[in-house]
Amino acid sequence: METKERKILCFQHCERTNILCFDLPEVCNICGENIEDTGLRIPPYRIKSPFSTAADNGCSIVIKPTVGTFLNDYTKSANLHIGITTSTGAVYDFDENGL
């Protein structure tokens, strides 16, 4: 089952600091200036999501929010599930009784 993650944009405005966002803001989060009026040090480009599906990563420890995905739905109060994958990508999850 493939989930569609939101695109992550990266750019630099007033400093050599990468700013990551889903949508380009009107004002810079660092200096507060309007981005369109002052220009960008590095224009926005899309970066690959750091998240992937468990089935594509055999022999791994996997963590997932109970509902949804990390980029779209995760909050610090959300429950997480942990599991392991076999070499073929089959997922085995943990609960209070173990595997």
- The answer to whether 71 and 6 have CB atoms below 8 angstroms apart is yes
Query: Are the beta carbons of 71 and 33 closer than 8 angstroms?
Result: no
Q: By the 8 A CB rule, do 62 and 82 touch?
A: yes
For residue 1, the model assigns a pLDDT of: 42
Q: Which residues, 6 or more positions from 1, have their beta carbon under 8 angstroms from its beta carbon?
A: 53
SS3 33: coil
pLDDT for the residue numbered 2: 47
Question: Domain residues of the chain, as ranges?
Answer: 8-47, 54-93
Structure tokens at 28: 């810079």
* pLDDT per residue rounded down to tens, the chain (99 residues): 445 667 899 999 999 999 999 899 999 999 999 998 988 999 999 998 878 888 888 899 988 888 888 888 888 898 888 889 999 989 888 776 766
Distance CA 84, CA 89 (A): 9
